[in-house]
Structure 1
Amino acid sequence: MQEHVADPLVGATVDGRYLVASRLARGGMSTVYLATDTRLDRPVALKILYPHLAADRFFLERFEREAKSAAKLSHPHVVGVLDQGYDADVAYLAMEYIPGHTLRDTLNEKGALTPRLALALLDPVVEGLAAAHQAGLVHRDVKPENVLMSADGRIKISDFGLARAASVSSSTATLIGTVAYIAPELVSNAAADARSDIYSVGIMLFEMLTGRQPFTGESPIQIAYQHVNSAVPPPSSLVPGLAADLDELVLWCTARDPEQRPHSAQDLLGELRHIRTTLDDRALDFRAAMAGPAPRAAGTEGAGGQAATVPLAAAPPAAPENGGEDPNRTTVIAASYQRTTAIPRTPAAVAPAAPPPDLTKRQARAWERDRARQAQRPAVALRPGNRRRRGILWIVLLAVLAVLAAGAGWFFGMGPGAPIPVPEVAGRTATDAKTLLEERGLDFRLNEVFDEEVARGLAVGTIPAPPAQVRWFQPVTLIISKGPELFDVPALLGLAEEEARAELRDANLDVGQISREYSDTAPAGQIIAQDPAAGEQLRRGSAVDLTASAGPEPFDVPDVTGRSAEDATAELQEAGLQVRIADERVFDSEIEAGDVVAQSPAEGTVVPGDTVTLTLSQGPRLVEVPNVVGDRLRDARRTLEELGFDVDVDGFFFGGDDAVVRSQEPGGGTAPEGSTITLRADPFPF
């Protein structure tokens, strides 16, 4: 029973921004994950390149340029490139996430499609390619796996520029692409352009209409040879009853000579839409009796979506197609748009001035282009050579090619190039894992990674992962755990609380409990303690507890009223408070001049450093003493009390308040407010 090994990237955050949620698929150059862009809070498809590509400096430079070019392309039928970057030894590409399925899933489920459905699905693909070609981008790996179909009906083509970046890498001698859909010029190491993508579209349309791929073989190299040396048959040869226009469209796209294909995806789009509008319902809704899921040919993509690789030097030049035709007639195989590569001519063998009457317009245009090229060739060979010798050479050449093909079939089928299943190494020690791979004869390289679950020194897994199969010359990456990644605890003392939080985030650590303590030396909010201390090492996401200053501890404000200014100031300063003397002084009949008559704040709590304002007394106010002699006692008392004096009546007399004041002390001048005026009244007022 095999133990399930978790992908080490699932749950990790790439480049501090992309939180990986799950693995979506594996390809020939990368693994695609569903991730969340934590900065913008949106799902993205994160393509992580395999380590051997990420370690190739030339490939990364090309990859970055292609990603920038693809990011400039914004089209409703092209998956948008959102970001590209590096995180340590991880090179990634963030793309628009399209939830749903691929065209490959549809073909696996339905098999051959009706022409109506096939043309409808192909229309947005060709429209997206047309926009890309107009922007100077060539895809080079068009296939059903790269056509994404969302649940809401959107159709987009993905992976622009990735195969191109891989194919021009200086450190690889292989062409990376899917051989079932690869254009002949790519196999022959010729320059690729928009017409190479059109060829792949034609192969894809063939498969959509027939449920089969046109070329199959025991190995990728055999299929590649067929693209170079064989013409794609018309779809109706497998599905009798398909409209002739569909045959013409497929054969136009898949002509081995790029010159015979549509010159642009825009031209192809116009023809495709013309056919959709001119075919009747019976032709559009025709369903093949043999429809069923398309079989997977050897060398094409497997379940994991890996693209096969074809050695560039393996493909021989295309053999002549019409070497044995009658020298007295010009042959143009219009039905399949094959290019006539050798048409012997004599002065009498002049090409007809007009095309045969039964050709379509597109066939006639192809006939005219071929006739113009034939007119540029000499009518008589200067060195005709020995015809018998040429025949022998052709026989020898074909025999050599047959031997090479048989040898290649044996090499990749049963010989050293036969596929080897990748063993399960997860949980084994590094030594045991290496031994197991060596026993299988696999070439492998080591890649050490941090892992939160797998102990240090044990194997995390391999790339590709089991049950994948590889050739002996294809490297396997053995991933060994370095144990959990440890991060240094930063020094946080003296930082503000928000600064401390940011430092912990940057160190891949979390904030634990935050407590607060009074401090006379640290302002409120400043970190005064941390646990663990700076310099210790913790796992990713571990918590660090913090103690923040709550500022100085408050206390009750001292009451210094009635104290002298000097004594009051000394007491307040000793308590850590600032003292301010008010400019204005006030009269007070009870507080001597110079003493504190009031303070602010007068009550409540304060903290060291707060300011207390003191108001000083001027002493009592001096008031002019009026002369009340001769006034009735009640009137005199009222007059003096209104001026703030206390009144004392001396002696015994009759008459009460109606008595007449006969004398007062003091009898005039000024006296302090609140002082006492003594009155004497006449005992006999009558």
Structure 2
Amino acid sequence: MIKIEDLEFTERLSEGGFAIVFKGRFKGTEVAIKKMKLSDGYTEDQELFQKEVFLLKSLRHPNVLSFIGVCISTSGDLKHQFIITEFMENGSLDHYTKKLKGKFLIEQKLDILLDICRGMMYLHYKGILHRDLKPQNVLINRGGTAKIGDFGISRVADVQATMTGHCGTMEFIAPECLQEERYTEKCDVFSFAIMMYELLFECKPYENQDFNLFTIALKVINGLRPVVPFNTEDPKAFEKFTDTILTKHPKTYIASVVVDYISLMKVCWSALDTERPSFEEIFESIKEFRQRIEYQ
């Protein structure tokens, strides 16, 4: 247990529905300090806190955010709870994408996706479903390595039980979760596909469509997916897009990589979870894309 007096809060970084994240220091080391929001009668908040701490303590992988410790302090009748993790200098993938917009190399994007695959393969091997995989929950360190974080609504898969219930962030939720049907680890693959879309096209999945979140949910259940902003069978439109892709290598195979990338993305967001590939299969495909660009 970390004492509150051993923590130094240096900068407020972000705020979400369940927590406020600060940059800070612990015994001379830069850390991220996540302060949990506790509402009146905070049974559910307490459960989220305990669940995230339990999961983080059990995880050790280069592509999963490293847990440092937990701090609980009291002030009068108030209890303050903090989760301390390693500090990721480049922030979330969402922030990183905006920061590099217009200068984000395809090699970097593929490397980040490979990192996410490695982290997700590890989580699924451990029987853990993330259930809220999105750019805001992937963190990037100074060297550009991606690590998966925010396990507040993650769940340990139980092969004896039916996994049901609401999970995730609306634009990234698989249709079976939206319908509160039985779901498996393949719900994370659907979320990954939406992330693939955001990374390749550097835009939000439904930003040009006048839908509220409830409408998006209904339409996703009925087959709505993010719109690819060009027709891959229109040579001029396709060439115009591939010309915008930045790479440090010759563009000899960029067109074929983009076509196969989009095909993989679409398989990953299939309506039937049984048609979606595993993260092992996704990893092998993306690794081949990366090699095709670099070793042509």
What is aligned with 1:568? none
What is aligned with 2:6? 17
Q: Distance in 2 between matches of 1:116 and 1:52?
A: 43
**1:95 deviation in Å?**
1.2
The correspondence for 2:179, drawn from 172, 182, 188, is 188
Q: Distance in 2 between matches of 1:156 and 1:195?
A: 19
Q: Distance in 2 between matches of 1:195 and 1:48?
A: 30
Aligned length: 257
Is structure 2 residue 272 aligned with structure 1 residue 257? Answer: yes
Alignment of 1:212-227 (within 5 A): 212-215=203-206, 216-227=209-220
Is structure 2 residue 189 aligned with structure 1 residue 198? Answer: yes
Structure with the bigger RCO (C-alpha within 8 Å, sep 6+) is 2
Q: Which residue identity does 2:238 align to in structure 1?
A: P
Q: Distance in 2 between matches of 1:46 and 1:84?
A: 9
The correspondence for 1:100, drawn from 90, 93, 110, is 90
What is aligned with 2:73? 87
**1:77 deviation in Å?**
1.3
Is structure 2 residue 269 aligned with structure 1 residue 269? Answer: no
**1:133 deviation in Å?**
1.4
Q: Secondary structure at the match of 2:12?
A: strand
Q: Distance in 2 between matches of 1:190 and 1:86?
A: 37
Q: Distance in 1 between matches of 2:97 and 2:276?
A: 25
What is aligned with 1:30? 19
What is aligned with 1:545? none
Gap runs ≥5 in structure 1: 1-12, 166-173, 283-686
Gap runs ≥5 in structure 2: 156-164, 232-236, 240-254
Question: Cα deviation per residue 1:305-342 (whole Å; 9 max; x = unaligned)?
Answer: xxxxxxxxxxxxxxxxxxxxxxxxxxxxxxxxxxxxxx
Q: Distance in 1 between matches of 2:107 and 2:229?
A: 16
**1:113 deviation in Å?**
5.1
Change (3 A) 1:137 1:25: same
Q: Distance in 1 between matches of 2:188 and 2:93?
A: 17
Question: Cα deviation per residue 1:582-622 (whole Å; 9 max; x = unaligned)?
Answer: xxxxxxxxxxxxxxxxxxxxxxxxxxxxxxxxxxxxxxxxx
Q: Give yes or no for contact 2:36–2:82 (8 Å, CA) kept in 1.
A: yes
The correspondence for 1:132, drawn from 96, 115, 123, is 123
What is aligned with 1:76? 62
Q: Secondary structure at the match of 2:55?
A: helix
Q: Give yes or no for contact 2:12–2:23 (8 Å, CA) kept in 1.
A: yes
Provide the TM-score with structure 1 as the length reference: 0.35
Question: Cα deviation per residue 1:329-383 (whole Å; 9 max; x = unaligned)?
Answer: xxxxxxxxxxxxxxxxxxxxxxxxxxxxxxxxxxxxxxxxxxxxxxxxxxxxxxx
**1:130 deviation in Å?**
1.1
Q: Give yes or no for contact 1:30–1:50 (8 Å, CA) kept in 2.
A: yes
Q: Give yes or no for contact 2:37–2:45 (8 Å, CA) kept in 1.
A: no
What is aligned with 2:31? 44
Alignment of 1:432-451 (within 5 A): none
Q: Distance in 1 between matches of 2:64 and 2:227?
A: 29
Aligned residues: percent identity?
A: 23
Q: Give yes or no for contact 1:70–1:137 (8 Å, CA) kept in 2.
A: no
Q: Which residue identity does 2:131 align to in structure 1?
A: R
Q: Give yes or no for contact 1:233–1:251 (8 Å, CA) kept in 2.
A: no
**1:51 deviation in Å?**
2.0
RMSD between aligned residues? 2.9
Q: Secondary structure at the match of 1:151?
A: coil
Q: Secondary structure at the match of 2:154?
A: helix
Q: Secondary structure at the match of 1:22?
A: strand
Change (3 A) 1:79 1:121: same
Q: Secondary structure at the match of 1:67?
A: helix
Q: Secondary structure at the match of 1:163?
A: coil
Q: Secondary structure at the match of 1:232?
A: coil
